[in-house]
Amino acid sequence: GWDLLEFSVQFLHGSGDTGPGVRDWVNQYSFESRLGSVGVSVQFPTATPRPYTLWGGETGTVWMNRLGLNPDAEEETTSIKESMSKIDGIIDKALEEKLVSSPSRIFVGGFSQGGCLALYIGLSGKYQGNLGGIFCCSGFLPNTTFAISNIVNPKEASTVSEETESPGVLSFDSKSKQPVLMLHGDSDSMVSCQWGEATAKRLSNLGMKVSFEKVPNLEHQLNGHVIDRIIYLIKSQMNY
């Protein structure tokens, strides 16, 4: 059995939004109360304001600076790593204060840029491969990304000797217990559904447990179906 609120979710907002903003949005679908009733607490952190190139250098609450909004755009690694450290720090605190007993009871996900950051955290953050699950709504990873540079394709893993394997390499086994759920509106005119699908295929080819779902007639938005799927992922990982 599990004690009340022994599981935790970090829900990360999209560009220019805030924790309280996305909290109001998801609670239109009773997100917190539905999870709270089965012992899951939800936190909604806010990104540190930083200049955002896509807004002409204006400052906004964004998890990462983007030099372009397409899969071929170069990664701005400094801001991504700063935001990863911020969320890793929140997880550190939850574990230190024994709010949760292990990283496997913590889920990280989000919408748009928040979902992108969740992928980085799950693939190359401090707790890579060991979280309860990752969810990404309307997000993607660039074609060239440090997030997966430390993952060895299980098909090629046999050619990597133990001596040469770097400490940060994720093994196939460690990833199988950290599912990745990607949901994307098929009518998204801001972040193409194809970009999300291509990311899911790449992760799947690396041996990750990935589910990708196209949501019919959904723009760059969340809806009740998306929230239902996130809650289902969390409950299924809790063995609820």
pLDDT tens by residue, 150-163: 776 655 544 444 44
| 69-112 confidence digits (pLDDT tens) | 999 999 999 999 999 999 999 999 999 988 899 999 999 999 99
pLDDT at 162: 45
Least confident of 147-151, 179-183, 223-227: 147-151
* pTM for the whole structure: 0.90
Identify the sign of the CA torsion 86, 201, 173, 162: negative
Number of residues in the chain:
240
Exposure string over 117-141, b if 16+ CB within 10 A, otherwise e: bbbbbbbbbebbbbbbbbbbbbbbb
* 32/43 Cα distance (integer angstroms): 9
Residue 19: which pLDDT band, with cuts at 50, 70 and 90?
very high
Which DSSP symbol is given to 19? H
| 101-145 confidence digits (pLDDT tens) | 999 999 999 999 999 999 999 999 999 999 999 999 999 999 999
Neighbours of 188 (CB within 10 A): 20
pLDDT at 188: 98
State the average pLDDT over residues 159-177: 46
* 11/41 Cα distance (integer angstroms): 11
